[in-house]
Amino acid sequence: MLVEVEKVRRFAWSPFPVVQVETPVGRTAVPWCGAPDAALGRHHVEWTINTEISWGLNAELAAEPGPAILAGGHCVILRGRLRLSPDGVGVLDLNGSMILLDFVERPPAEADASWVQIYVPHKDVQLHPFEL
C-alpha cells in the first residue's frame, strides 16, 4: 500500500518511531519499522499485526462494506475482506494490501470472503517500508 508519512514521533510504549500515515482508505498512527530519518514522505509499506485475533473479541463482521482504516482511541480499526485458508489462516485484504492474521480459533464460515473489522492496539501494528 502506498502511504504518506506525515509525522514522526517517539512514545515510551513503542521501541520504534510512531508515524502518522495517510492512506487511500484512512489515516492512523502506528510504529514504523524502517529507517527513522527517511520516514517522512511517500512509501510503499507492508502491514504487520503482532497479536492474536479472536472472533467476537477483536474481530467481527463489518457493519458496512468497503476498506477502511479508522481511529479507535487506543487501537487501529482495519476493515477489509477476509479470506480463510482451509487450515484457518486468515488474510485481510485491505485495499489490495494483504495482512496475515493469527486467529486463536477459526472464525465462523460466514466470515470467509466477508467484510470484517479487526481492532488492534497501536503498539501491535507495524509498517515495514519496501521498494518496488
Mean pLDDT of 33-51: 94
pLDDT of 28: 95
Residue ranges of domains in the chain: 2-130
Q: How many CA atoms, within 13 angstroms, populate the side-chain half-sphere of residue 82?
A: 27
Give this prediction's pTM: 0.93
Q: What percentage of residues in the chain have a pLDDT greater than 90?
A: 88
Mean pLDDT of 100-104: 94
Q: Are strands 68-72 and 90-94 parallel, antiparallel or unpaired?
A: unpaired
Query: Is the sign of the CA dihedral 44, 35, 53, 117 positive or negative?
Result: negative
* 71, pLDDT greater than 90: no
Give 30-72 as a 3 state SS string.
EEECCCHHHCCEEEEEEEEECCEECECCCEEECCCCCCEEEEE
Residues constituting the chain: 132
Q: What percentage of residues in the chain have a pLDDT greater than 70?
A: 100
